[in-house]
Amino acid sequence: MNGPEIEIQQRVNPVQNEFDVVIVGGGGSGLAAAARSLEFGARVLVLEKQPQLGGTTGMAIGSFTGNGTSMQRAAGIEDNPDNHETDAGLFAAPEIEAQNDSELRRFFLGQTAETLEWLRDLGLHFHGPNPEPPNRVPRMHNIVPNAKAYIAAFQAQILKRQGTIVCDAPVVELVREAGRVTGVVAEIQGKRRTIQARRGVVLAAGDYANAPEIIGRFKGNRFRSIEGVNPKACGDGHLLAERTGAQLLNMEITYGPELRFVPPPGDPFEQLLPTSGFLAQLMGRLVPYLPQFLINWRIKRLLLTWQHPENALFDDGAILVNAAGQRFCNERVSPEREIAISEQENKAAYILLDERIAACYSEWPHFISTAPKIAYAYVEDYLKLRPDVSAAAGSLEELAKHRQLNLTHLQDTVAQFNAYASGQQSDPFGRTGDTEPLAGNRWVLLGPAKAYFTTTEGGVAINQGLQALDEHGDPIPGLYAIGCNGMGGQVLWGHGLHIAWALTSGRLVGEILGKSNNQ
C-alpha cells in the first residue's frame, strides 16, 4: 500500500465526511488555496484526480510575473498595477485582447506583490526580476529551480497544518441544496463518497487543452485532433461548473496550437518530491538550496522538454517532414501548420536542418528554444540532453536510418525544396522567400514534434471574491473558481501571468474561506 492510500484511510473515514473547504484539483491554484485556508485554521480537503499532485503548474519553468514587488524595489525599479495592466494588454492580438475583462485583470495584478511575498515567506526563492518586452520594466520573477518547488512547498505546508490530500479521487458531481453548493461526490478507492463543504467548494481542476469535445464545441471541429501539452487537462472543472449553472467565458481562446517536441520517455508528471510525511516537509525546504550547477541542469532539461522550437527556424530555411520523409504543409503558416501536423501519422513531424542552419542555431542569438532570460537551448544541447528527439549525421541516408524515415522520399523532398529555393519552380505548398537550398555534410533532424495547445483562456465567470457566477451574473452560493477554472474573462498572455493568477487566486480564496465561518 502506498503513501497516498494510507493518507486516505487515516484522514477520510466513514465518520469524517465534512470539511470547511473542499478543493477540486491538486495543481498550483488548488494547493495554494489549501495552504492559505489552513493558515486561518480551516479544515481543508484537496481532491486530486491523478495519482500525483502538480497539474500543469508542475510542468512549468515557474515564472511569476508581478509588479510593485520588493525584488523590483531592491533593483531600483518603480512599478505599479496600472502600468502593468496596460502592458499586459500588448501581448495578445487586438481581437483577442478586446475580449479581456480589464477590471478583473487589474484587480489581479494589484494583488501580485502580496502573493510573491507570501510565497517567499513559505521559503521559496526567486531570481530576477527579468525583462520581457513589451513590459516597460522587468516583472518576471523566476522560481528556483522550477515550478515543482511551488508544489513541494504547498504540499509541505498542507501536511504540516494537518490538511488532507487525497489523490486518485476524481470529483464527479457537485452537490447543490436549496440553490447552494454544499459539497461534492468523489470516487475514492473505487467507491463514490459524498463529502460536505461547510464554507465552500473551490474548483481548481486546470484547463481543457486536452479535451477535444470542449475544443471542438467552442473553437471548431478542425482543432479537435490537436492534443494538449498536459494530456490530463480535460476540463473537468469547467464541466462541473457548467452543469451547476455557471457561466463560461472566452472558451474559444487558446494559447496555441503550437509546435513542441514530445516529452521524454517515462512519466514527465512524476512528482519531484515525496507525497507525504517528514520527507515531504524536509525536501520542500531543501529544493531552493540545490547547487547552482544542478539548478542550471534541471532548468535546461525542463526547457528542452516543454518549450517550443522557435518559428525562426523555418524563416531561416528549415522544413518539416512526416514519418514517411515527406513535406505536407507550408511551415510558416499557422494554425494550418499545426492542424496539418495533427493529421499526420502519430500526429507527429520532424524538423530538418542542413549544415548551414545547424551551424547557425548552435550559438547566440539563434536558439532552438528558450525560457526568456533564464536559459537558451541550441543544437548541441538537444543532441546531448534530448537524444530521443534529435539526431545528427553526415548524410541524408544515415539520418534517415536514425528515425526509420523513407530515404527515397526524404531525398525527393529535399530535391523538390531545393528546386523551389533555387528558383526553378514554385513551392507546392505555397511557401515563398527561400533562396538557400538544403545542402552540406552535416544534417540534423529534430523530432518527433507535435502540435499542442499549451493552455486555455476560457473559464468560469467570477467576481473579485472568486465566486462562480451564473448566466445572470449572480453568485452561485458556496461555489468558487480559481486558476484556469476561474479565468473570469481575463486574457493572460505573456510569460508568468498564468502562474501568478493561479497562485494569487488560490491565496485570495484561501483567505476568504479561511477567515469565514458562515460562507
Q: Which of 437, 453, 469 is the last residue of a domain?
A: 453
- Give mean pLDDT, residues 117-126: 93
C-alpha cell at 255: 494559447
Q: Determine the average pLDDT of the residues in 470-498.
A: 97
| Distances from the Cα of 237 to the Cα of 20, 130, 440, angstroms | 20, 33, 52
Q: Are residues 499 and 426 in the same domain?
A: no
Asked if residue 264 belongs to a domain, the reply is: no
CA distance 438 to 351: 13
pLDDT at 13: 41
Q: Is residue 9 part of a domain?
A: no
For residues 34 and 266, which has the higher predicted lDDT (pLDDT)?
A: 34
| Residues 201 and 22: beta-carbon distance below 8 Å | yes
Q: Tell me, what CATH number does 318's domain have?
A: 3.90.700.10
Percent of the chain at pLDDT > 90 equals: 78
Select from 221, 194, 91, 137 the least CA-distant residue to 497.
91
Residues 384 and 417 in one domain: yes
337 falls within a domain: yes
Higher pLDDT, 72 or 128: 72
Q: State whether 330 and 247 are in the same domain.
A: no
What share of the chain in percent tops pLDDT 70? 88
Say what the pLDDT of residue 266 is: 62
How many other C-beta atoms lie within 10 A of the C-beta of residue 437?
Answer: 17
Q: How many domains does the chain have?
A: 2
Amino acid code (one letter) for 51 = P
Same domain membership, residue 178 and residue 133: yes
3-class secondary structure, 142: strand
pLDDT at residue 303 above 60? no
Q: Report pLDDT for 486.
A: 98
Judge whether 276 lies within some domain: no
How would residue 300 be classed by pLDDT, with cut points 50, 70 and 90? low
pLDDT at 371: 62
Residue 176 lies in a domain: yes
pLDDT at 203 over 90: yes
Would you say residue 363 lies in a domain?
yes
283 pLDDT above the threshold of 50: no
Q: Does 412 lie in the same domain as 470?
A: no
**Domain final position from 424, 453, 482:** 453
State how far the Cα of 96 lies from the Cα of 93, in Å rounded to an integer: 5
Query: What pTM was estimated for this model as a whole?
Result: 0.86
Q: Do 143 and 232 sit in the same domain of this protein?
A: yes
Q: Is the pLDDT of residue 449 over 90?
A: yes
- The residue out of 453, 486, 505 marking a domain boundary is 453
The answer on pLDDT for 184 being more than 50 is yes
* CATH value at residue 74: 3.50.50.60
* 179 and 55 co-located in one domain: yes
342 and 227 inside one domain: no
- Of 375, 385, 151, 389, nearest in space to 272 by CA: 151
User: What integer pLDDT is reported at residue 299 of this predicted model?
Assistant: 53
In a domain, 279, yes or no: no
Is residue 459 located within the same domain as residue 428? Answer: no
- Residue 346 three-state SS: helix
Given a cut of 80, whether residue 295 has pLDDT beyond it is: no
Whether residue 372 is found in the same domain as residue 358? yes
| In a domain? residue 265 | no
CA distance linking residue 459 with residue 479, whole number of Å: 14
Do 410 and 476 reside in the same domain of the chain?
no
Q: Looking at residue 304, what is its pLDDT?
A: 55
State the CB neighbour count (10 A cutoff) for residue 178: 6
Could you list the residue range(s) of the whole structural domain that residue 85 is in?
A: 18-256+454-515
Verify that 251 and 142 share a domain, yes or no: yes
